[in-house]
Chain A
Amino acid sequence: MRRYSVLALLRESLTGHRGWERAWEDATPKSEYDVVIIGGGGHGLATAYYLAGQHGITNIAVLEKGWIGGGNTGRNTTIVRSNYLWDESARLYDHAVKLWEGLTDDLNYNVMFSQRGVLNLAHTLGDVREGQRRVNALQLNGVDSEWLDTAAVKRFCPPLDVGAHARYPVLGGTLQRRAGTARHDAVAWGYARAASARGVDIIQNCEVTGLVRDGARVTAIDTSRGRIRAGKVGMAVAGHSSVLADMAGFRLPVESHTLQALVSEPIKPVLDCVVMSNAVHVYVSQSDKGELVIGAGIDEYLSYAQRGSFPVIEHQMGALLALFPSFSRLRMLRSWGGTVDISPDASPIIGRTPIDNLYINCGWGTGGFKATPGSGHVFAHTIARGEPHPLAAPFALDRFTSGRLIDEHGAAAVAH
C-alpha cells in the first residue's frame, strides 16, 4: 500500500496524478477462506482489518452484495459519540471513540474525525433528570461529559434558540466535547484500503444467496459469484440481519425500519457542533462542505426499501426550525433513507449464534456508525478467539433469554 501524504500528493500533482493505485484490490473470490465476513460496510471492513492486523488472520474475504459502504455506512448522519448510560455501553462506545481518535493515522487515510462536541438538549424536567444521570454515570466511567445550564448551552451554540417562548424551551443539555462527526464514506474506503493491503479479499457485487450447513456448523456460503467454503463466518449486515439469520436457520429479535436523513444546500459555516434533541425531535450538524446534515426518527412500519414517507421529513423540519429559526430560508437539497435493525433494548447484538462457527454483529439500530472501529475491533477478537471480547460479552444474543438487557432507548436519541 503506497502511503498517502502531502509529499505524495505534491509528487503526483506534477505528473497528472497517474501514479495513484487502486485504493483496494478488486479481488476474485477464492473457493475457500479461513474467515468470511458477510457485509462490506464499515463494521464488516473494520472487522477484516483488525483480523488481519491484530490477529494475524489474512486468509479473509469480505463479501458485499453491492458496493462497499453502500448500506448504512453511506447513509448515516455521521455522528460519533459515546455518551451512553449503562457501563457496558459507555465502555464499548468509548472504546470506539478512542479508536476514532487515532484512526486517520492507523489507516493512513483521512477519516476527518472532527471532535467538535455533541450537545444533547433537555426540554423537560424529566430530560434534565435523565441528562444529569447520564453525565454523572459517564464521569464515573471516565468518559468526558458535562452538564450545561441554558445560558451555557447558548454560549456553546449561539445559533440555538433557547428562549422561554418556545413550545419546549431548552432547560439545559449534556455536552461531550470529544464527540463529533466523521466522514462516513472515508471510513469504509480507509478500512478497505488498509485491509486489502494486508491481504484481505474485498469482493463486491457478491450477494449471499444461502448458507450451507453441516449440523451445527456452516461449511460454505452460496453467492451470486459461486460457492465459497469458510472456516468461520461473521455477519455484519445491519438491516438485513434477520434475512441472513433466516438463511442460517436461527431467529433474531430485530425489526428493520427505514431511517431517513437529509442535507441542506451548502452554506458558509453557521453551526460548529452537533445538536441533538429527543423532545423536539431532530439532530443536526454542519458538514465540512457546508451542508447541514439532519436526521430524526424512524418510519414506524417495517421496510427494506431504503426510502421513507414524507411526514417524517415534515416533522423534522418543524423541530429543526424550533431550535434554529434562522434556518427557515435554507433549502433541503437531498433526502434519503437506510434500513436499520432495531433490537428490543436498542443495544447491539455481538457474538456467537446457535451455529458454532457463525458470528453475528447487528442490532446497532440507528446508532451503528459511531461504533464502527470499536465494533470491528471487538468482533474481530470474538471471531479470532471464538469467544466474545470482554467489551462485547454483555451484548450477546442470549441476553434476550436470560433477561440481562441493556436498555439504551434514551441514549439512542432516535424515536422508535
Chain B
Amino acid sequence: MGAAKGKKETIKPAIEITDLTVAYHEKPVLWDVDFEAPQDCMLAIVGPNGAGKSTLIKSIMGLVKPAAGRVLVFGKTYRPESRLIGYVPQRGTVDWDFPTNVLDVVLMGRYGHLGWFKRPTDKDRRLALECLDKVGMTDFINRQISQLSGGQQQRVFLARAFIQDAPIYLMDEPFAGVDATTERSIITLLRELQDRGKTIICVHHDLQTLKEYFDHVLLLNVRALALGKVSDVLTQENLKRTYGGRTAFLAGMTEDEEPRG
C-alpha cells in the first residue's frame, strides 16, 4: 500500500488549502492555515478544544465563509452540488428526539442525488439497507432515533455518509461517545473505504490511537502547526507546540522521548 501511495501523491491532492483565515467575530478561529491532504489518505485533525478543527472541516465544504484564503478539492473550487464530499457532523449537533427513524435518516444521505419534488425510490431504500448492514444496524431500521445508544447513533450517521458514495469523507469526531468495540468496527469500515481509494479526514481526540488508526495527521491550534505522516509529525516538540505546556498527559505516545530514569 505504501508504494502505491507514493505514486498517487504526484496526482492532485484531494484537498488543498492555502492561507485560510476564518473569523466569527474579532478573534480568528483559523489563522493562515496551509494544508494538503493527499488522495486516499486517512488523516486525523488533532488539536485542543477551540483549535478550529470543526471550522476547518466546515470551511472545506464551504459551510463557513473564510475571511481570506482558498480551498481546492481535487484542484477545483468546491461546490456542494458536485457531491464530492460525504459529511459526518458531530453527533451532538442534531435533536435526536426528532420524529424520524433509522432508515429515514440514512435516506437523507440520498437527498442530494434526488431532484426537487422527488421521493426516495426502492433503489434508494435498497442502498440504505446495504449501508445499514455495513455498520451492523439492520436490526434497528424502524427504531426511533432517540432510542439508540450513542454508538448506534454514530453508526447511523456513518451509514448516511456511506450512502452518499463520495470520494472524500469529512468526519467530525466519529469516535466520540462510542464504546471500544464499535470504535474497532468503525475503523475497519473506514479502512475498507480507504482501500477503495477514498480519502478520509477525521477530527480525532485520542492521541493514544492516532498512530494505529491514521496514516497522516494535521496538528492544529488556530494555526496549522505540523502536517505529514503520523510517524514523522507525532513528536513531543510538536505536541508541546500544539497543546501548550500542559503535555504531561502526552507522555508515552511518541517515539522521540528521552528514556526516563
A and B: interacting chains: no
